[in-house]
Amino acid sequence: MGSSITHIRNFSIIAHIDHGKSTLADRLIQKCGGLQEREMAEQVLDSMDLERERGITIKSQSVRLSYEAANGETYQLNLIDTPGHVDFSYEVSRSLTACDGALLVVDAAQGVEAQSVATCYSAIDLGVEVLPVLNKMDLPMAEPERVATEVEEIIGLSTDDVVRISAKTGDGIDELLEQLVERIPAPQLSDVEGAQALIVDSWFDNYLGVVSLVRVFAGELRKGDRIVAYSVGQTHTIDEVGVFTPRREKVDVLQSGEVGYVVAGIKEIHGAPVGDTLVFANSETPALPGFAKAKPQIFAGLYPSNSDDFEAMRIALEKLCLNDAALHFEVETSDALGFGFRCGFLGMLHMEIVQERLEREYDLDLITSAPSVVYEVVDRDGETLRIDNPSQLDDSGRIVEIREPIAEVNILVPPDYLGNVIELCIGRRGVQRSMLFTGGQVSLRFDIPMSEVVLDFFDKLKSVSRGYASLDYSFDRFETAPLVKVDILINGTKIDSLAMIVHRERANARGREMASSMKALIPRQMFDVAIQAAIGRQVIARTTVKAYRKNVTAKCYGGDVTRKKKLLEKQKEGKKRMKQVGKVDIPQEAFLAALSVDR
Partner 1 sequence: MDSLPEPPSTVGLYVHIPWCVRKCPYCDFNSHEHHGPLVETEYVACLLRDLDAELERTSATIETVYFGGGTPSLFRPSAFGELLEHPSLQHVREVTMEANPGALECKSFTDYREAGINRVSVGVQSLDPDSLVKLGRIHSPNEARNAVEEALKAGFNSVNVDMMFGLPDQTIDMAMTDLDELIQLGTEHISWYQLTIEPNTVFGKRPPKVASDDDRADMSDAGLERLAASGFRQYEVSAFAHDSGEFACLHNVNYWRFGDYLGIGAGAHGKVTLENGTIVRTQKTRRPEDYMRDQKTRTREINREELPVEFMMNVLRMNEGVENAHFGCRTGLSLDGLEPTLSQSREQDLINAHRLSLTEFGRNHLNSVVERFL
Q: How many CA atoms lie within 13 A of 487 on its CB side?
A: 19
Report, in Å, the least distance between residue 227 CB and partner 1. Answer: 56
In sequence order, which residues have a C-beta less than 8 Å from that of residue 325 and are 6 or more positions away?
94, 273, 274, 275, 293, 294
**How far lies 201's CA from each of 97, 211, 267, 329, in Å?**
11, 8, 16, 19
Are 456 and 597 in contact by the 8 Å Cβ rule? The answer is no
- Minimum CB separation of residue 582 from partner 1 in Å reads 12
List, in order, residues 6 or more apart from 283 with CB less than 8 Å away.
Answer: 193, 194, 195
**Least CB distance to partner 1 at residue 554 (A):** 4
Q: Please count the other Cβ atoms lying within 10 Å of the Cβ belonging to residue 374.
A: 21
> What backbone phi and psi angles, to 5 degrees, belong to 192?
-70, 140
Amino acid code (one letter) for 203: W
Per DSSP, what are the bridge partners of residue 259? Answer: 215
DSSP state of 419: H
**What is residue 496's DSSP assignment?**
G
Least distance CB 568 / partner 1 (angstroms): 5
Nearer to partner 1, 537 or 572 (CB): 572
In the complex with partner 1, the residue whose CB is nearer, 188 or 571, is: 571
The residue type at 580 = Q
- Work out whether the CA dihedral 488, 491, 493, 495 comes out positive or negative: negative
DSSP 8-state symbol, 397: S
Contact yes or no for 369/337 (Cβ under 8 A): yes
Least distance to partner 1, CB of residue 32, Å = 57
Instruction: Tally the residues of the chain.
Output: 599
Question: In the bound complex, what is the minimum distance in angstroms from residue 480's beta carbon to partner 1?
Answer: 49
Residue 168 or 575 having the CB closest to partner 1: 575
- Dihedral (CA of 582, 588, 590, 591) sign: positive
Smallest gap, in angstroms, from Cβ of residue 526 to partner 1?
5
C-alpha–C-alpha distance, residues 91 and 325, integer Å: 9
- Neighbouring residues of 209: CB distance < 8 A, sequence distance ≥ 6: 263, 265, 266, 267
- Kindly list the residues in this chain that would bind partner 1 in the complex (CB under 8 A): 524-526, 548-559, 561-562, 564-565, 568-569, 571-572, 575
236: three-class secondary structure by DSSP: strand
Residue type, 573: E
- Our CB check for partner 1 shows the closer of 360 and 583 to be 583
> Which is closer to partner 1, CB of 537 or CB of 550?
550
Query: Do 408 and 445 touch, CB atoms closer than 8 A?
Result: yes
Q: Which is nearer to partner 1, 362 or 527 (CB)?
A: 527
Residue closer to partner 1 (CB basis): 38 or 549: 549
Smallest gap from residue 559 Cβ to partner 1 (A): 4
> What is the distance between the alpha carbons of residues 375 and 403, in angstroms, rounded to a whole number?
6
CB 278 within 8 A of CB 350: no
Nearer to partner 1, 32 or 578 (CB): 578
User: β-pairing, 129-135 with 101-107?
Assistant: parallel
- What is d(CA 281, CA 233) in angstroms, rounded to the nearest whole number? 8
**Beta carbon nearer to partner 1, 70 or 568:** 568
Q: Cis peptide leading into 246, omega within 30 of 0?
A: yes
Dihedral, CA of residue 512, residue 518, residue 524 and residue 527, to nearest 10? -70
Q: Least distance from C-beta 572 to partner 1, angstroms? A: 5
Residue nearer to partner 1 on the CB measure, 161 or 569? 569
Least distance (Å) between residue 393 CB and partner 1: 35
Instruction: Provide the minimum distance between the beta carbon of 96 and partner 1 in the complex, in angstroms, as a whole number.
Output: 57
Q: Closest Cα to residue 590, out of 579, 575, 576?
A: 579
- How much of the chain is helix, strand and coil, in % rounded to 5? 30, 35, 35
- For partner 1, the closer of residues 512 and 564 by Cβ is 564
Specify the residue, 437 or 548, whose C-beta has the smaller distance to partner 1.
Answer: 548
Work out how close the CB of 557 gets to partner 1 at its nearest, in angstroms, rounded to a whole number.
6
Q: Which is nearer to partner 1, 189 or 556 (CB)?
A: 556
CA distance 408 to 417: 20
The nearer residue to partner 1, 315 or 556, going by C-beta atoms, is: 556
- State in angstroms the smallest separation of the CB of 338 from partner 1: 20
Nearer to partner 1, 431 or 561 (CB): 561
